[in-house]
Amino acid sequence: MMIDGIDMLPGRAEYPRNQWYVAAFGFEVTEKPLHRMLFGDPVVLYRTPDGTPVALFDRCPHRGMRLSNGGTVIGDDIQCNYHGIRFNPEGRACLIPSGGAPTSAMSVRRYPLVEISGWIWAWAGDPAKADPALLPDHEEMGVTAPGFHSYFGLCLPGESNYLYSLENLVDATHITFLHHGMIDAGNVASHPYRCTQQGTKVRMEREFSDEPVPPMIKLAMQIKGDRVDRVLDLWSYAPHAVVVRQTFADTSDPSMEPRDARIVFGITPAGPKSCYQFAVVVQNYPSVRAESLLDDFRRLLMEDVVALNDIQQLFDQLEPDRVPEVSVRADEGAIRTRRLIAAQIRAEREMVAEAAE
């Protein structure tokens, strides 16, 4: 699918670089260097002694070893394990043990970072254009909202284009069929919905009355009764986040406070055909089984990952004229999100063209 000359067909969809993407959970980044492929770049992440996270291009410009490959954090700096050259948090060489003054060529790219709650966001594009205003609203998503409890730790790598993952989470109609009734009563695909858009946020909302509660949901949401009124509310924030929100009111116990349960996803392209889903479970009540809760959702979400990997593999095996895409009415949220992402990419291209003139 081409939108204003930008390829937005899942399987090979482009992504904007002047945006924030989740790079890691906060607990993953320590004084020990962490390697991760992010938006097509090898990146090393570490923390300085005062706890500040740092992200640099993970390749020493001297002879090409990854800084994360046996590298050592010394003070604020990281030392390459090959010839001992040290780089400061700005990416500039500050020590060459074999002699000579560091030059501007002996430097690596620095990625601006913002740490919010349990997530670390990295800016993929021009560091001079890093704009915190482009981060999604974490309080609106529930991650930092008062009265909510957040459980971080679900990282789901996928071997598929990032847009497959983003659109899969905005698409509720697959739930009944792919997940075999684990989290719904078999009534989602045909149910009417409302689609609204505000800025880069697209929302797909469905309301259900007095429906049976699937066993997994009953256990995860700590619902005592067998029937609930439910709202399934999916929000996408182009190009990097999705909220899957469900609210439950126990129809057999009106005195019970309604449950507001969300899985909030940071969607990060690792490359053209690979991505990460960094997920946090957010609830307006404390979980009595937090660790097993994450395990339950991991098993559920891996069904999506396996399916999307298979879709990408078949996409790659076929010629372009043999991979048509035919959308249906319920794809409205996904198509709106594609148009938002295409507009972001187009704005980047126009900015580059103006700078070149």
pLDDT tens digit string along 60-77?
999 999 999 999 999 999
* DSSP, res 321: G
- What pLDDT shows up at residue 119? 97
* Whether the predicted pLDDT of 4 surpasses 90: no
Does 357 score more than 80 pLDDT?
no
pLDDT tier for residue 198 given thresholds of 50, 70 and 90: very high
Q: What is the Cα–Cα distance from 298 to 294, expressed in whole angstroms?
A: 6
Would the CATH topology of 29-111 be identical to that of 132-348?
Answer: no
Average pLDDT over residues 187-202: 95
Which residue has 């078999």 as its token pair? 186
What is the signed CA dihedral for 57, 59, 61, 65, rounded to 10 degrees?
170
For residue 187, what pLDDT is reported?
A: 87
Residue 348 and residue 211: Cα distance in Å, rounded?
Answer: 46
Q: What's the CATH code, domain 132-348?
A: 3.90.380.10
Alpha-carbon distances of 249 from 189, 205, 217, 325, rounded to whole Å: 21, 16, 13, 38
Contacts of 327 (CB under 8 A, 6+ apart): 334, 335
Q: What is the CATH number of domain 29-111?
A: 2.102.10.10
pTM: 0.95
In the chain, what are the domain boundaries?
29-111, 132-348
Please give the sequence-ordered ranges of beta strands (E in DSSP) within the chain, or none if there are none: 2-3, 6-7, 20-25, 34-38, 41-47, 53-57, 72-74, 77-79, 86-87, 93-95, 113-116, 119-123, 149-158, 194-198, 201-212, 227-237, 241-250, 259-271, 274-283
Mean pLDDT computed over 17-26: 98
* Structure tokens, 184: 């719904």
> What is the pLDDT averaged over residues 252-276?
93
Please determine, for residue 186, whether its predicted confidence score (pLDDT) is greater than 90: no
User: How high does pLDDT run on average in the chain?
Assistant: 94
Question: Average pLDDT, stretch 308-337?
Answer: 96
Half-sphere exposure of 278 (CA within 13 A, CB side): 22
d(CA 124, CA 20): 6
Per-residue pLDDT reduced to its tens digit, 129-158: 999 999 999 999 999 999 999 999 999 999
Burial of residue 296 (CB within 10 Å: 0-12, 13-18, 19+) is middle
Q: For the segment 25-57, what is each residue's pLDDT rounded down to a tens digit?
A: 999 999 999 999 999 999 999 999 999 999 999
